[in-house]
Structure 1
């Protein structure tokens, strides 16, 4: 009797493993390359109004690449995105609005942005107040990459040694933190280093 129970249990585990092996890649492909992706257009600038108690209202520029990166996520689900600033997109990822958004470069730009999004998006809401002061909070990005976030005494966030320029911007259920760099793993970073 014990043999049959063990055999059935092993059979069920093998069947569940096979289903997971089949459907997990399909879900990932649908999530990153599904029909909900935006049309990449040159005129899609993302201006967000932010209210501050001392200065009234000021306008900050997320820019083309930040807007495209954020629009890859559904805004009705809880996400936190550590979006690189426009200067970081240009300096680190070598993306410029004049060249990278041309029709012949759109596929490469989209591939870079979707890969960057996998490292800087977290599938939970993390505003700056949720991060302990001067202590680390460990998060996991949608690709499984570990992000260590801490909050300085001035309210700025530091994620994997990248400092924030602006925090707690909301777009639906998404919280956006604009960073002064790009959060990515060593392998992805290696592809942007100069050859010499």
Structure 2
């Protein structure tokens, strides 16, 4: 084999090596994308608690940039991001006052499981699979709709034009989160049975 043939053979092997490396890198990138997509939590919403917390990340945004509380952001992350929902999320004060959830206490150790169970139940009561912004609700009228858990929500406006849901007043309305519309409420939307289950045995001063 002469020198020219040897050089051609080396060039051929070198080109094949580069092509092989590029193929391996491409396959690895493809596998990473597929695995990432499979790890996105599918929200199986209902009365039962949703074991999604292992795949969720808590949004750490300052209060000035984000009108939702830590627990409110967790509720939004439990929803499918490619579908439109309206969610009546309790304010941070309501989470503490009505559900005894505090971000510095309830998301630590074993308490985290209980916190996610409560939040997922609240989501089932307060999310509806459609867009309902404040302009959709007529003044002096009422819109009824079923939440994800089947709990009926009665949405209206009081004499001052404030959005009301089952007697709970809104604090902020029409917040957009992707395809979702969020209304921040001064209270928790829930049925009587769940309300009784989260009531404290004695009064707690906040």
How does the TM-score come out when normalised to structure 1? 0.73
Q: Structure 1, residues 111-154: CA drift from partner, whole Å, max 9, x if none?
A: 00000000000010000011111211101100000000002354
Q: Structure 1, residues 55-94: CA drift from partner, whole Å, max 9, x if none?
A: xxx7453111000011100122110000000000000011
5+ residue gaps in structure 1?
Answer: 1-28, 49-57
Q: Which has the higher strand share?
A: 1
Residue in structure 1 matching 2:60, options 31, 45, 55: 45
What residue number does 2:44 align with?
31
Aligned length: 157
CA–CA distance in 2 between the matches of 1:173 and 1:120? 16
What residue number does 2:174 align with?
168
Residues 146, 161 of structure 1: CA spacing in aligned structure 2 closer, same or farther, 3 A cutoff? same
Cα shift at 1:186:
0.2
Give the secondary-structure state (helix, strand or coil) at the position aligned to 2:119.
Answer: helix
What residue number does 1:106 align with?
112
What residue number does 2:129 align with?
123
| 1:182-193 equivalences in 2 (<5 Å) | 182-193=188-199
What residue number does 2:86 align with?
80
Give yes or no for contact 1:152–1:158 (8 Å, CA) kept in 2.
yes
CA–CA distance in 2 between the matches of 1:86 and 1:63? 5
RMSD: 2.3
Give yes or no for contact 2:126–2:189 (8 Å, CA) kept in 1.
yes
5+ residue gaps in structure 2?
Answer: 1-41
What residue number does 2:165 align with?
159
Deviation larger for 163-172 or 99-108: 99-108
